[in-house]
Amino acid sequence: MSDERAERIAEFVAPLRVEPGSKVRLGRDFDPRYRAGMKKREGKELLRIGVSLLAEYQQRLAAQDTYGVLLCLQALDAGGKDGTIRHVMSGVNPQGVRVSSFKVPSAEELDHDYLWRYALRLPSRGEIAIFNRSHYEEVLVVRVHPENLVRQKLPDDSRGPGIWERRYREINRWEHYLTDNGFKVVKIFLNLSKEEQRTRFLRRIDRPDKNWKFSAADVRERGHWDEYQHAFSEMLSATSTKWAPWYVVPADRKWFGRISAAAILAHTLMEIDPQYPDVGKAARKDLLDTKRDLEREAPAGAPADPYTDRHPPAGKKRG
């Protein structure tokens, strides 16, 4: 594993991370057009590195079967969640990844505590789970539209003032619990500017092949822009923790957002640094005995071990 690649990725993601305990004001602290002085062409090169690292580390994660990863994606409408997931997924084995999208909760979901439906979709060991929207909707859309809270049928004394601070605390503890048990949580907010959202909405209207992506409800939500900015800022301040950090990803340039997300996931996996399991001496000896048996089965004229024949150990020339 080249440390140089790992270092480049670590350096790249550091400025996107929300320092735990810091007080975030989105408009002031994070520029949706930031691109780390990078050109699109250089970005593509970094994306290639990120994607190859992802593939490599995911394989180890699955083989080790000890840790799992939960990637939460939040954004305003047209923020680019779908495209980001597509790009991140291009680097991983689909067998080891599960994507869950969270919409308006169903009657059954509302009949449970608010974290219930998210808990059902957590990754298992060796797996990466991507949440397309996540438990953070519970302090975002539910906060901006309090009628959602009414639908949650909470007892009176757990709905009063201080509910958002309480939810932040509960979410932090839940994520801490998951981390303690081998599940690493990482959170990405795709930070879109109001003007870029307007442009993307118009594009969805102007292009017939994009019409299906447009919904009048999205424009209604846009009317609550400032309330959402406030809810996001409070959420980022309260729930970026050492164990489960938030990354604010500039999303006005789609290519930069995608690279950033792939890099953040790769970085998270590198921090876990999963290892292929060592089978142990006895099992290794059994393997070598089996190897000799298989070699003895070689047909006349065939190499005893076609694999080593094609992939000679470093330093040895093919005979």
Interface ranges with ligand ATP (CB under 6 A): 77, 82, 101-105, 133, 137-138, 141-142, 148, 215
Least Å distance, CB 77 to ligand ATP, is 6
Least Å distance, CB 62 to ligand ATP, is 28
Smaller CB separation from ligand ATP, 55 or 149 = 149
Whether the Cβ atoms of residue 14 and residue 232 lie closer than 8 Å to each other: no
Q: How far apart are CA 5 and CA 57, in angstroms?
A: 13
Mapped onto helix, strand or coil, the DSSP state of residue 93 is: coil
List the Cα angle 36/13/165 in 5-degree steps.
Answer: 115
Q: Show the DSSP H helices in 145-245 as ranges.
A: 147-151, 163-180, 194-206, 216-222, 225-239
Both tokens of 281, joined, read: 């001496």
Residue facing ligand ATP at closest CB distance: 137
Smaller CB separation from ligand ATP, 181 or 215 = 215
Smaller CB separation from ligand ATP, 63 or 104 = 104
Least Å distance, CB 5 to ligand ATP, is 32
Smaller CB separation from ligand ATP, 49 or 235 = 235
Smaller CB separation from ligand ATP, 133 or 253 = 133
DSSP sequence for 21-88: T----HHHH--TT--TT--HHHHHHHHHHHHHHHHHHHHHHHHH-S-EEEEEEEE-TTS-HHHHHHHH
Least Å distance, CB 276 to ligand ATP, is 36
Least Å distance, CB 215 to ligand ATP, is 6
Smaller CB separation from ligand ATP, 101 or 308 = 101
> Left if phi > 0, otherwise alpha if psi is -120 to 50, otherwise beta: which for 78?
left
Least Å distance, CB 214 to ligand ATP, is 9
> Left if phi > 0, otherwise alpha if psi is -120 to 50, otherwise beta: which for 273?
left
Whether the Cβ atoms of residue 153 and residue 211 lie closer than 8 Å to each other: no
Question: Which distant-in-sequence residues (6+ apart) come within 8 Å of 312 by Cβ?
Answer: 318
Question: Which distant-in-sequence residues (6+ apart) come within 8 Å of 258 by Cβ?
Answer: 47, 80, 83, 84, 87, 88
Question: Which distant-in-sequence residues (6+ apart) come within 8 Å of 308 by Cβ?
Answer: none
Least Å distance, CB 250 to ligand ATP, is 19
Smaller CB separation from ligand ATP, 67 or 137 = 137
Smaller CB separation from ligand ATP, 58 or 84 = 84
Least Å distance, CB 84 to ligand ATP, is 11
Furthest C-alpha separation in the chain: 82
